[in-house]
Structure formats: structure tokens, C-alpha cells
Amino acid sequence: MKLPNIEAIKRMITLVKRIIFPGYYEPCPTDPELRQCYIEANKLELKITLGEQICPDQAEQFLAQLPELERLLLTDVEATIANDPAVDNRDEVIYCYPSIQAMINYRVAHILSNMQVPIIPRIITERAHSITGIDIHPRAQIGEYFAIDHGTGIVIGETCIIGNHCTIYQGVTLGAKNFQMDEKGNMVSVPRHPILEDYVTVYSNTSILGRITIGHHSVIGGNIWLTHSVPAHSRIIQSREINQE
């Protein structure tokens, strides 16, 4: 198996950013015709760079998914704006927010993982992890309009499924409760991470573990340890001890 070129993978992510967010990561012509030429030139370089890491047919397949990739990332930007009153404008989110950097890498890696590309998807998401502190497995399934607030310390496991319009805060773990073993004692990859239905919010430092379902329009408060499913429209908060003295 051909080993990946780390520098080429970094360049690939840079090119994706320039194609989807022209002008943010490199000066870009403002004239519409020249701007389109700039984008097409980056697409060509992306096709060549990616084609050297995987087969050319797969590179073509990836490029064909760029419009959907762009649509999803723009929904993530809009969700971040809608969920954070500290945001002044879209430019601030794209330039500054680590969540968008992590989601760019995750969504690129997820496409490649679905194409059965080995190793490279993990390199891409782990690079985002090292930069942002947000750890998303490339095989996790995340819907549109996904918002991450702050982001540091977030873990989203391999078999996690997250619906549309979900928001999670820093320190959240969507992890496994235990691991299934085969007869030889080797771990087996089976669904073991949570499912978050649409419009779920999970506040900071909460751990949701195991193959459980959080029903749509639920709110899970901060510092919760949750290992059982909850129905739609649930509100789970810490119980408060009352001193009777």
C-alpha cells in the first residue's frame, strides 16, 4: 500500500478551503469571471494533488461531491451564527471559529471514508484534532446545520449519528460505554456510540455513552453522565441537593 504524503494532504485541505470559501484563505479576484477562474484553477490542483494520493477515479468522485460539501459547510456556518450571540458576522465564524476548521476537515474526511479510502481520513481529522481540540471520527454521521460552541475537548465516536440542527458545547463526549469482543478477545466494530436526533442540544462537559438515542428537541444539561435513552422533548439536568438544615 502506498503511504500517504502528509504535506500533500495538508495542501488538499487548503485547496478545499479556497474553493468553498474563496478569498478567506488567500487573496481572490473580486471580478466574478476572474473569481471563477481562480476557483477552477484550485479545483484542477486539487484533482492532481488528490489523484496522486488515491486513484484518479476516486479524485474525480470526490470533486463531484464538492457542491454538497459546500452546502453542508455553509449550513454549519449559519448554525454557528444562529447559536452564538457573540458572533457579529459570517466572516468572523469562517476566519476565527475552530468549529468550522474542524468541520471542514471532518466533512472532507467523511467523504473519503465513504469512498473506502484508507488512513487519509484519519490523518485529516486527527490534524484538526491537534489544532482545535475537537476529535471527530471520520466515520461518524453528522447532519446539516451542526453547531459547536467553543469546542475544546469534544469527542465524537466512530459510530455516532447526529441529526440536523444539533448543537454541542465544549467538553462533550459522545462515546462508547463498553466494547464487544470476538472469541479471540479482539474488539469488534459494532454500533456503540449515541444517536442524537434532530434539534438536540448538549451542554458542556457532558458524557453520553453507549448505543442510546437522545430524542429530537431534547436538551441535555452540563456535567451529566448519561447512559440510557431519553424520549423526544426531554430536558435532563443535574438534580440539586437541598440542605434541610
**Is 188 in the same domain as 124?**
no
Residues 69 and 188 in one domain: no
Q: Is the pLDDT of residue 244 over 50?
A: no
pLDDT value, residue 245: 42
Asked whether 208 and 173 are in contact (CB, 8 A), the reply is yes
- Looking at the structure, do residues 110 and 15 belong to the same domain, yes or no? yes
The answer as to whether 182 is a domain residue is yes
pLDDT of 241 above 60:
no
My answer on whether 225 and 120 are in the same domain is: no
Report d(CA 218, CA 216) in Å as an integer: 5
Q: What is the distance between the alpha carbons of residues 192 and 198, in angstroms, rounded to a whole number? A: 19
Pairwise CA distance, residues 114 & 88, whole Å = 35
Give helix 66-83 / helix 98-114 axis angle, nearest 10°.
150
If one counts every other C-beta atom within 10 angstroms of the C-beta of residue 157, the result is: 18
Q: In this predicted structure, what is the pLDDT of residue 154?
A: 98
- The pTM assigned to this predicted structure is 0.92
Same domain for 1 and 112? yes
Instruction: Give the mean model confidence (pLDDT) for residues 188-205.
Output: 95
Does 244 fall in a domain? no
* Domain membership flag for residue 191: yes
pLDDT in tens, 12-65: 999 999 999 999 988 888 888 998 999 999 999 999 999 999 999 999 999 999
Residues 146 and 127 in one domain: no
In this structure, are 11 and 109 located in the same domain? yes
Res. 242: pLDDT tops 70: no
Picking from 71, 100, 134, the residue at the C-terminal end of a domain is 134
Section 178-204 average pLDDT? 88
> Is the pLDDT score of 224 beyond 90?
yes
Mean pLDDT score across all residues of the chain: 93
Q: Give 123's contacts (C-beta < 8 A, 6+ positions apart).
A: 4, 6, 9
In the chain, the DSSP E strands lie at: 135-136, 141-142, 147-149, 155-156, 161-162, 167-169, 173-175, 195-196, 201-202, 207-209, 213-214, 219-220, 225-226, 235-236
Q: Which residues pair with 107 in a beta bridge?
A: none
CATH number for position 47: 1.10.3130.10
Residue 94 is assigned to a structural domain of this protein: yes
CA gyration radius, the chain:
20
- Give me the sign of the Cα torsion angle 116, 118, 124, 129: positive
SS3 202: strand
- pLDDT, tens digit, 9 for 90 and up, residues 156-186: 999 999 999 999 999 999 999 887 877 777 8
* Domain match, 46 and 23 both: yes
In which residue are the cell numbers 474553493 written? Answer: 19
- Asked whether residue 245 is domain-assigned, the answer is no
Number of domains the chain is built from: 2
Contact predicate 72/142, CB 8 Å: no
Mean pLDDT confidence for 99-107: 97
- Domain with residue 175: its CATH number is 2.160.10.10
End residue of a domain, out of 110, 134, 158: 134
In this predicted model, which residue has the larger pLDDT, 27 or 68?
Answer: 68
Per-residue pLDDT of 125-147, as tens digits, reads 999 999 999 999 999 999 999 99
CB atoms < 10 A from the CB of 172, how many? 25
- Structural domain including 171 reads 140-239
